Amino acid sequence: MMAPDSKKIWMDGRLVDFADARVHVLNHSLHYGVGVFEGIRAYPTRSGAAIFRLREHVARLVASARIYLMPIPWTPEQIAHAIVDTQAANGIVPSYIRPLVYRGEPALGVKNSTGKVSLAIATIPAKKYLGEGSETGVRAKISPFRKPPSDAIPSFAKASGNYVNSYLAGVDAQKDGYEEAILLDSDGFLAEGTGENIFLVRNGELYTPGLEADILLGITRDSVIRIATDLGYTVHQKRLSVNELLTADEAFFTGTYAELAPIKEVGQYVIGAPGSRPVTSEIMARFTQAVHGEAPAYSEWLTPVPELAAPAPRKTARR
């Protein structure tokens, strides 16, 4: 679990103390799940803190809000600036940054398309989302809960209500002793984890479910595709069966909070040779270099966070 721990939260244009970041209990988003959000990471680099792929995350946030008919009263540039300000105000590195678009005023009734749209931005310390499995390998199970098709709930949008599905799948996996769940799409093909995309390695090539699997277009997924391609690997985006997963040479999750996490077991099946993940390890190493500013080819992915200037000393009145 990620325990909130920060000083300031940005709410509708101003930074407020953590304890004062409140909304009404009858707010529309709480009751109906109509809100959209992002998960963003900031990492330490030699030049100071930097936010990973900020522009892409803001663009997806705006697109998600558009799908849910929630007009954000700030431009993408203003949102990006607010995220940098929030990160700087808290000074937490590495951090996980959560912008949330919601309707926070009291308003019951499903069809609320005119209520005030608000934006909040928080940042908390980043921890290992999948525990020790993030490094040693995750034990996962195929979830009995399917990923809903996009003609029911749009998968392009990172919406709050979508994650009820992830909650059910994730808690079911936890109670069975697994670290994560793998959801299938409505046709029984691989979709994604509860908060991650999934990749397989077969015969030195990478495979990942495509848009037809009703996945969220992950930004870490996109980063891995580019890194793998730059390393000379072929990447296929296609429908993948459970059998292809169970017989893969390697498999791993990707996500902003999970980063890259190898999958060592699915149910009772061991994935590949125990402890041997050469392709996953190579991509993980390059990804780690990229997020820490140690791979110049990916420097455009990083947005520097300036340190807050120390407050000017108060003038003492002469007596």
In a domain, 218, yes or no: yes
Q: SS3 sequence, 73-138?
A: CCCHHHHHHHHHHHHHHHCCCCEEEEEEEECCCECCCCCCCCCCCEEEEEEEECCCCCCCHHHHCE
Are 98 and 140 within one domain?
Answer: no
Query: Once rounded to an integer, what is the mean pLDDT over residues 232-256?
Result: 98
Are 113 and 170 within one domain?
Answer: no
Query: Once rounded to an integer, what is the mean pLDDT over residues 33-46?
Result: 97
Q: How much is the pLDDT for 318?
A: 34
Query: Once rounded to an integer, what is the mean pLDDT over residues 259-287?
Result: 95
Are 160 and 176 within one domain?
Answer: yes
Q: In the structure, what pLDDT confidence band is assigned to residue 312 with cuts at 50, 70 and 90?
A: very low
CA atoms within 13 A on the CB side of 115: 20
Query: Once rounded to an integer, what is the mean pLDDT over residues 56-71?
Result: 98
CATH code for position 96: 3.30.470.10
Q: In the structure, what pLDDT confidence band is assigned to residue 319 with cuts at 50, 70 and 90?
A: very low
pLDDT of residue 313 exceeding 80, the answer is no
Range of 32's domain? 8-125
Q: How much is the pLDDT for 1?
A: 53
Rounded to two decimals, what is the model's pTM?
A: 0.93
CATH code for position 138: 3.20.10.10
pLDDT of residue 315 exceeding 80, the answer is no
Comparing 274 with 186, the larger pLDDT belongs to 186
Q: Render pLDDT for 163-202 as a digit per residue (tens, 0 to 9).
A: 999 999 999 999 999 999 999 999 999 999 999 999 999 9
In a domain, 111, yes or no: yes
Q: In the structure, what pLDDT confidence band is assigned to residue 251 with cuts at 50, 70 and 90?
A: very high
E strand residue ranges, the chain: 8-11, 14-17, 36-37, 40-45, 48-52, 95-102, 118-125, 138-142, 180-184, 190-193, 197-202, 205-208, 235-237, 250-255, 259-266, 269-270, 302-304
How many H-runs (helices) and E-runs (strands) does the chain carry? 8, 17
Q: How much is the pLDDT for 133?
A: 64
Choose among 314, 304, 290: nearest CA to 219.
290
Catalytic residues: 158
In a domain, 246, yes or no: yes
How far apart are the C-alpha atoms of 119 and 99, rounded to whole Å?
Answer: 7
For the chain, the average pLDDT equals 93
Q: How much is the pLDDT for 132?
A: 67
In a domain, 304, yes or no: no
Are 120 and 137 within one domain?
Answer: no
pLDDT of residue 3 exceeding 90, the answer is no
Are 27 and 46 within one domain?
Answer: yes
Are 65 and 199 within one domain?
Answer: no
Q: In the structure, what pLDDT confidence band is assigned to residue 307 with cuts at 50, 70 and 90?
A: confident
In a domain, 252, yes or no: yes
Give the length of the chain.
Answer: 319
Domain stop point among 70, 91, 125: 125
Query: Once rounded to an integer, what is the mean pLDDT over residues 98-105?
Result: 97
Q: In the structure, what pLDDT confidence band is assigned to residue 308 with cuts at 50, 70 and 90?
A: low
What percent of the chain has pLDDT above 90? Answer: 88
Q: How much is the pLDDT for 127?
A: 84
In a domain, 247, yes or no: yes
Are 111 and 245 within one domain?
Answer: no
Q: How much is the pLDDT for 117?
A: 98
